[in-house]
């Protein structure tokens, strides 16, 4: 049963707002960048000192992270978790660099950008001296990333999988800057549970007033990123949407269910991919289409083997 009356009422009364971009790691692999999540996990395996762990072709990456964490010797479980996430921050800071496409996205018509990336390459493409603003106080945003957002030159950047610095002054094994980086299965599932409890399972009606106030507010900082899946047109690019992205698949499923039961969904979600991936991603495409996502194919030329850069060039030329 759909229990979020505030969201349903809002969708009935309002037309979709402007477009939002959902951006994956693909943009970081342009112009010679080749630092993948598998490469990062190889570094974590080496850092852990456990030679017996292998990547494996069938291991979901969040569970592989848990395998590393649970086998890692050290002072304590939380101490090891902190060290692994801090290592992720160090690796990303040293390996990833801005490219021209980050700047093009930041100069586009998108004012709201969701990204699964932890890095600040988008922010730094506009402001090379960008530093995460620090706050004080107790909040769930140490770990979760549903309301935390960065504002740079009129662009709101949401790091929905966490970021290199959560922006809160704290220290120790339980609270630390890189804590929000989402890698393990436990973090993925608890994050989904948080979203579910807020949007759906509001038994006592405690969230209805909060949802109403946030949706009606003109201030982006008062909202949660997952509202955009219902209130704005969304364009998705450079995101594999593997089965590990359980919170994103759940949102697509919940949105489709709302449409079929209540008929209130008016926004569109477009998934862009290069034409040479149509067969490779057929299973994903079938699932996405069943949830009401529109597939947007972009034909790319050879360009001396630089198919993927051609894909981004045409996306930028045609759509932003």
**Three-state secondary structure along the chain?**
CCCCHHHHHHHHHCCCEEEEEEECHHHHHCCCCCCCHHHHHHHHHHHHCCCCCCCCCCCCHHHHHHHHHHHCCCCCHHHHHHHHHHHHHHHHHHHCCCCHHHHHHHCCCCCEEEECCCCCHHHHHHCCCCCCCCECCCCHHHCCCCCCCEEECCEEEEECCCCCCCCECCCCCCCCHHHHCCCCHHHHHHHHHHHHHHHCCCCCCCCHHHHHHHHHCCCHHHCCHHHHHHHEEEEEECCCCCCCCHHHHHHHHHHHHHHHHHCCCCCCEEEEEEHHHCCCCHHHHHHHHHCCCEEEEECCCCHHHCHHHHHHHHHHHHHC
In a domain, 92, yes or no: no
| 3-state per-residue secondary structure call for 93-137 | HHHCCCCHHHHHHHCCCCCEEEECCCCCHHHHHHCCCCCCCCECC
- Identify the CA nearest to 234 among candidates 268, 274, 272, 257: 268
**Containing domain of residue 133, as a range?**
5-32+98-319
In a domain, 39, yes or no: no
Q: Distance of CA 139 to CAs 135, 142, 168, 188, 221, Å? A: 10, 6, 9, 18, 15
Q: Can you give the pLDDT at residue 115?
A: 98
In a domain, 44, yes or no: no
* Angle made by CA atoms 308, 36, 150, in degrees to the nearest 5: 90
Distance CA 109, CA 86 (A): 34
In a domain, 46, yes or no: no
In a domain, 74, yes or no: no
Predicted TM-score (pTM) of the model is: 0.94
Total number of domains constituting the chain: 1
In a domain, 208, yes or no: yes
Q: Can you give the pLDDT at residue 243?
A: 86
In a domain, 84, yes or no: no
Phi and psi torsions of 99, nearest 5°: -135, 175
Do the Cβ atoms of 224 and 149 come closer than 8 Å?
no
Q: Can you give the pLDDT at residue 52?
A: 86
Q: What is the mean pLDDT of each run of 10 residues along the chain (320 residues)?
A: 78 94 94 81 91 84 93 90 95 94 96 97 96 79 93 96 88 85 96 94 76 92 96 96 93 96 95 92 95 95 74 93
- Paired tokens of 103: 């700047």
Q: Can you give the pLDDT at residue 2?
A: 54
Q: Can you give the pLDDT at residue 168?
A: 82
In a domain, 138, yes or no: yes
Distance CA 28, CA 108 (A): 17
Q: From the CB of residue 78, how many other CB atoms can be counted at a distance below 10 Å? A: 13
**Burial class of residue 19 (count of CB atoms within 10 Å of its CB; 0-12, 13-18, 19+):** buried
């Amino acid at each position: 049963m759909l229990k979020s009356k505030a969201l349903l009422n809002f969708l009935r009364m309002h037309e979709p707002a402007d477009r939002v971009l959902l951006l994956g790691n693909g943009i970081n692999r342009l112009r010679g960048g080749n630092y993948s999540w598998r490469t990062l996990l190889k570094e974590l395996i080496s850092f852990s000192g456990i030679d017996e762990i292998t990547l494996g072709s069938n291991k979901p990456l969040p569970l592989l992270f848990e395998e590393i964490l649970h086998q890692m010797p050290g002072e304590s479980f939380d101490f090891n978790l902190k060290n692994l996430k801090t290592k992720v921050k160090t690796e990303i800071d040293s390996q990833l660099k801005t490219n021209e496409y980050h700047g093009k996205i930041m100069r586009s018509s998108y004012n709201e950008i969701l990204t699964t990336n932890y890095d600040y390459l988008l922010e730094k493409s506009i402001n090379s001296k960008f530093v995460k603003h620090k706050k004080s106080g107790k909040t769930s945003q140490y770990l979760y990333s549903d309301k935390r957002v960065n504002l740079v030159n009129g662009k709101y950047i949401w790091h929905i999988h966490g970021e290199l610095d959560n922006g809160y002054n704290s220290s120790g094994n339980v609270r630390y800057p890189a804590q929000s980086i989402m890698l393990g299965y436990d973090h993925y599932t608890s994050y989904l549970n948080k979203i579910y409890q807020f949007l759906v399972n509001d038994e006592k009606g405690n969230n209805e007033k909060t949802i109403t106030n946030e949706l009606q507010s003109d201030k982006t900082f008062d909202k949660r990123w997952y509202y955009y899946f219902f209130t704005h047109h969304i364009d998705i690019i450079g995101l594999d949407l593997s089965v590990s992205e359980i919170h994103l698949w759940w949102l697509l499923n919940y949105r489709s269910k709302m449409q079929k039961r209540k008929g209130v969904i008016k926004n569109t979600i477009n998934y862009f991919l290069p034409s040479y991936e149509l067969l490779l991603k057929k299973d994903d495409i079938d699932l996405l289409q069943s949830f009401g996502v529109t597939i947007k194919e972009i034909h790319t030329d050879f360009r001396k083997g630089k198919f993927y850069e051609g894909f981004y060039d045409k996306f930028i030329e045609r759509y932003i």
